[in-house]
Structures are given as structure tokens and as C-alpha cells.
Structure 1
Amino acid sequence: MTFEYLTQQMIPGPPNNNHGSDDLSISYADASSLDDSNGLRFKLDKSWRRMVGFYSSLALTNATDKLLAIGALAEYVMTTRQGESYLAGLWSRSLHADLLWRSTNPGSGRSDDWIAPTWSWASVRSAVRFEIDIEGPVTAVADVIDVSCSYVDNNPFGLAERGGHLALRGRVMPCELRKTVGRRETEYFIDHPDLGLNIQVYRDSEDEPTTASGRARAQSGDEPRVSVHLLQVAETCQYPVPLCIALQRAATDDGVLQRWGYVEPPLPRLHKLHDRDTFNQWFTKWSVEETCVIE
């Protein structure tokens, strides 16, 4: 029932079906005919992220079935994404943009049972959104060194197994976040004397313990601080600004990282262009090239 509803709502049919939705009907285009320069590939990629946003808001009886349930839809979509790899809810060709999800309800936490690598939206109970899609197409800047996922019965559209990892080489900046309690949610902002902007970082899950290397610290009268590494995975095409995810050392402390959250850049509005330029210059100045292995 869920699969049928999603395909009707999110992939209504080929362009001549009179549904009046060019943006969604692009899912039926021959992938070999899509041209990055005219935005068709962006629309194809965006249509998947719209499906994920909608699907992740549905209430499943068993959280562990998340990837299994959307797997049928992914297998259906694969016919328009020939030559790509499906990676625990993300796609190899649009991987950089697909990584830029954020949890809408961090308090929902992660499932007690392992479901997916932390870089996958499927790893959190919360609904997710991809706010970067309002920017238009983005440019990938981090190099994919290696990516792998393991699946039960070797079915890439089924349940994932532990062991999947993603190795990205890009610009990385260690920094601290200050934690404040707002009226609606706990908020984290980049805390750096050279920045001069309030850049919010949305945590993926509030109920998971902070690792020893990034445990929140607070002295008397101070706001708690959390140590993270910001990794730039992409950049906006117009009025460039870094698009980053926040990482922390895994509990094993063996050099492997786990995804911690999503960094919200300044908005793509005229009165925010100075802020975008400021954030871009700040990140370029303080970041260095590194390889991050994320599990």
C-alpha cells in the first residue's frame, strides 16, 4: 500500500499523462538523454530526495524495515538511473547532495537496532528534509575515495548490514559548537572568534551519547561546547557557500568518524549574500584537506 501510494504521488507517470507535473514526470526520462546543463539531472535527483522526505515522515510499525520498505521504490527508480549504485537510501551519482539531509526532530533519536550507516538518512527515526534543493544544482567538492554497503542476502534494496563505510577527501575544519536551549528545540551554533555569524548545526539525534572526544563541556556560567569536525562535501553553484556535514569520532576512537549533524549555510537571499561570502572565506581560511572515513 505504501509503495503504491508513493509511486502515484511522487512518480505520477510519463510526460503525456496529463498530470501536469513536469518536475515529477522527468523520472521517466531516459537517463542517457539527461543533460546536466539544462537542469534535467538535477530534477531527477531532486525527485528522489522529495520521495525520501515524504517517505521518512511516514510511521512504520518496525523502524528496522525502513530501507526494506523503500527498497521496492528504489528498485523501480533504478530503471531511470542506469549505471548508478544504490547506497542505503542514497545514489552514487548524486551522493554529495544526498548526504545533505537534516533531521526535523532530533529528539526521535536513532533506533536501538542498527539500520544503516550514520551518513544515511535511514539511520534516524525522524523525518528528514533536503533544504539544499532550494539552491538549485550544487557542485561536488569532496572526492569519494571509497564507499561500500553490505546487505542481507546481497540484496541492495533490502536490509543493510553493519560494515558499510564512506571515505571522503575534502576540506575539514575542527571546531566547537555552543549549545543553547531555544523556545522550540535545542540549538547548536558554530563557536569561533573569527566567524562573526550565527551558523546553526542541526544534530541528527539528541538521544545518542556524545563520544568521549566530543563530549559537551561547560564551566560555571558558560554554555556547553561540543567538539566536531566540519566536512565540506559540496558547494552551491550561485553565490558559492560551503555545504558541510558535522562529524565526530566514533566510540571506538580508532580514527573512524560518525555523522553528527548538518550545517545550515546562510540563506540564498540578496540580504544574506555578505553572510555567505563571510562564511565561505572563514571556512577556506581555517579548513585543511583531509580524508574522513565515516561509518
Structure 2
Amino acid sequence: MTITQLKYTLAIAEHKNFTKAAEKCFVTQPTLSTQIQKLEDELDVIIFDRGKKPIELTDVGRKIVFQARNIVNEAERIQDIVDQQKGFIGGEFRLGIIPTVMPTLLPMFLKNFIKKHPKVKLKIEELTTEEILTRINEGHLDAAIAATPLENETIKERVLYYEPFVAYIPDNHRLKDKKTIEVSDLEIEDMLLLEDGHCFRDGVINLCKTFKDQAEDSFQLESGSIETLIKLSNEGLGMTLLPYLHTLDFREKLSPNLRHFTEPSPAREVSIIYHKSELKMQIIDAMHNVISGIIRGAIAFQNVEIISPLSK
């Protein structure tokens, strides 16, 4: 068997279609099909059930794919070892970023990073934390930027910065006259939240000490974007909490609605994360240095209390 055959196998397992897998691998479908047939003949097993639509793995096929992913990942790391030995910072680098970090952090560091390291070919995706962990463990991402700590034994974390929570309080809200707020002021009943799947939502819920299982008729409104939460808050539907970087470009009209917490400010920890066996450390180090250098000028808060992003 060959590494190429194993790569074809992984592509079919991912796309569940021979034609799509061939396009992904930049070969013709007959070429891909022939190689898979040769692999099955050599192993004397059927890896894919071609009678199903979409194509499914057989029981033994699932075990082969699991091992093939490990073999292909390790083979690709040979080039990483050479690059690291030479001090070369370049090549493809697949990066995931969570939705509540992507729109604020990416514009801050991307141009600077590309200018400093033009040989790195970045491929960036906006993904939830759950999607990021899956893709890192499957070898589809080299690293990611997410809220931590994640308490995952296969993942290493390097802190980039601590980002305080900031309250957005509309004019008609019970807390509108307070210059700063306490965590004890928060009530989940009048809090607008991001929809399920966002780790920032879980951080807000963990912060609200008064949070309990709500009655079925309790009002609760959720949205997929922070911008929508702000608009809903302006309509008098409740308050919301924002990551600090989201407030830096607030229009003058909206700024008076912001309230900071008394210290220690509740904050989230944002880190660059990667698999414990990752070898593209020269690129990870470079990215960590660029982001850390830029963010120091934007966030000066030191006295913070880290709020867990994990659902509890």
C-alpha cells in the first residue's frame, strides 16, 4: 500500500463520494477508483460499501480510516521536521478561529503577519470550539484561536491575551444609572445570549451566579451574532455582555451604553491551541509573537478573573 492510496481513502471517507474525493485530490475519478480497488485487493477487504448512497465505510473500513489518518499525518510531519531544523517559516498553515474572536482579532494581526512571514500560506476558517477540536484531532487544522482553558488532554494551549467582559445596557434598563457594575448585578432573566454552540455564551452563563434552570415560560432570547444582540438590546429586550475588543470601534451613539465591571474584571482567556504532537512550531511561535505584540497595545487590563468557556 502507498501513502497516496491512504490519502485517497481519507478523501472518500470525508466526502462520501468518489467524484468529489477525486476533485479534492486533483486526480480523475478512474485513477482514484483504481487505486482504492488495488488497496482493497491487497488487504483482501472491502473498505467502502458502494451500494449505499452516500457511500459508507464498512466496519473494517472505519478501523482502516482511523489508522490511515495517523499514518498520513505522521508522514506529512517529516517535512515539518526538516523545516523546523532549517528554521524555515513557510508552507501551508490551516488555522481555525472562533466566531466571537474572528471579526475583531483577525483584522488586527493578519496584514502584519503576512508582511512579516510572506512564505506562510494561511488557510483560515471560522469554526465553533467543538468543530475546532474535532478538526485538530483529525489532522485537518494545524492550530486555532479559541477561548481557554479547554481541559482537553490532546490539546496544548498558549495564552495570547485576557479579554474582559463589558456590559451593554440600554437606556430603559434597571442598571442604566450605574457607572460600573458588579457580577452580582447580573440576572440571566434579562440577559440576551448568543445561541447554543458559542463558548462566549457558556462563559456568560457561568458568570451569572444567579443562573438556574429556567421555567419553560421564562423569556429567553438568543442570536447567532453579537451585532444582533446589540440591536435587540436597543429595542428594550434586555442587556447583553460583549468581549472587550468588540467595543473598541463603537459609534459615539452607542458608547454611553457600555459599563465596565469593578475589578477583578471577569474576562475570557484567548489562546492559540494545537495538537500535542504538532510540529509546525516555528509558525505557531511566529503567530503567537505577532498577536501578543499587537494586542498589548489594545488591552491593558491586568486585574482579571478568568471565566471558564466550558458548558457546566
TM-score (ref. length: structure 2) = 0.24
Where relative contact order (Cα < 8 A, 6+ residues apart) is larger, the structure is 2
For the pair shown, the structure with the greater C-alpha radius of gyration is 2
Instruction: Name whichever structure is richer in helix by fraction.
Output: 2
